[in-house]
Amino acid sequence: MHPKALLEACTELVRLTLKFDHPADAVVSKFFRDYRKTYAFGPRERAALAETTYNVLRNKLRFDHFAPSGSGPKERRLAILGFAQHLKEHAAPQAASTQPKRHQQPGSQALDFLISALNKQEAAWLEACEAVSPADLMERHRHNMPEWLVEPLKAQVGEGFWPLVERLNGGAPLDLRVNTFTDKRADVQHELKLAGIKAVDTPFSPWGLRIDGKPALSGLDAFSRGAIEVQDEGSQLLALLLDAKRGEMVVDFCAGAGGKTLAIGASMRSTGRLYAFDTSAHRLESLKPRLARSKLSNVHPSAIAHERDDRVKRLSGKIDRVLVDAPCSGLGTLRRNPDLKWRQSPKAVEELTAKQTAILASAARLVKSGGRLVYATCSVLPEENEAIAQAFSATHPNFEPLSVADTLTELKVANAAALCTPDGLYLRLWPHIHATDGFFAAVWVAK
């Protein structure tokens, strides 16, 4: 694809994404569908478009700072900066080390493709932007976070703030969960190796494999037969915490597309009964092909109108284990969804906490005496996490909090205490410490 055409496509995709009308991944997918005949995208072009757009979202404040000194439409200037970063990140390391010093600067081999699409003024502007040292920038242009999010993060991680920022503004590895109902992790790891894909064991989840890069998985037999599913290691640990047993009655209260549902079903060895509830029938539809591949027969997806739906009430006091992976801000997933930091707001978080409180209270009614309740989010904000758990404990004395550190230790998870808050009570995962998305979980047993 000609560099000018590719930059034109990048500019249009950046423009559409920055409207923030829809999640970035949905905008990117729709763009590929709508413009596939116009631009005839190949795999490399699709990767360049997506990564350019995500670079703009991750570095928006810095790029906004540089943009006014350039010329032409702002979206084009942002696309140039995002595309430049994509090219530098994917330049061959040996080329950088063997070229003379002048080739280490903007205009080097890594950027030649992009520069061929620019006029002289744009090329000079890009060179000036690339010459700016990050150390000379204001703090906001280095962290690229909205100010309302900065202080809560600093308060929690202290000196870890900049390492956290670096991880959140970078990409994420690809984690897979092996379907232990049908396959063993070591066997799948070997199978991937034969396919030219290097996978290493995840350090905490006994079900996980981690892959660098983004190989095509859909053509693999391991994928088509349901031996693997894409799932962050942190998400796997949430399903592990539920510790669902053979023959039990279990509810995944906010199942979504069912990633944790499938993990729970496998841990139950496809026995008992596992209800997958969600208020979105569309999300549950996404579970059906995955469920068919998984070979599980104990999963029962069910769309509900709200957390007090009659289908929920009929199960009151009958369920052994309930997982509430609550709707949340998603701010623990910024590595994958950088648009969320611009699409969320303090008001939106406040509305979510009210919803989380109501959902947890309703889900708790399902748990029978001696049963387990797990509340989880993929948020890094205390008001969605510890505050919700503490308020629930205060208003539900019939639920006894369990130590997550002790629970994970009993499940033979290595170094379990390192995954938790200092008191061991809650699961607290951080991208810069655990190489997972940001996750929280609290566990109770019903008296």
Catalytic (active-site) positions: 378
The half-sphere exposure of 350 on its side-chain side, counting CA atoms within 13 A, is 4
The runs of H, that is alpha helices, within 225-258 are 233-242
Distances (CA, A) of 77 to 50, 56, 431: 16, 10, 30
Strands (E), 332-429: 367-377, 399-402, 427-429
**Measured between alpha carbons, how far apart are the two ends of the chain, in Å?**
64
Token couple for 182: 């049908």
CB 321 within 8 Å of CB 242: yes
Helix (H) or strand (E) holding 214: none
The sign of the CA dihedral 278, 279, 281, 285 is negative
Q: What angle do CA 267, 268, 272 make, to 5 degrees?
A: 165
Give the start-end residues of each E strand in 304-391. 319-325, 367-377
Residue 85 phi/psi, 5° resolution?
-65, -40
Between vectors from CA 81 to CA 76 and to CA 87, what angle results, nearest 5°?
Answer: 120
Q: Which of 4, 28, 6 is nearest to 16 (CA)?
A: 28
The β-bridge partners of 303 are: 278
CB 122 within 8 A of CB 80: yes
Nearest alpha carbon to residue 207 among 412, 372, 404, 405 = 412
Cβ neighbors of 58 (< 8 A, separation 6 or more) are: 144, 169, 170, 338
C-alpha–C-alpha distance, residues 168 and 163, integer Å: 9
Tokens encoding 404: 């997550």
- Name the 3-class secondary structure at 386: helix
Antiparallel, parallel or unpaired: β 319-325 and 228-230? unpaired
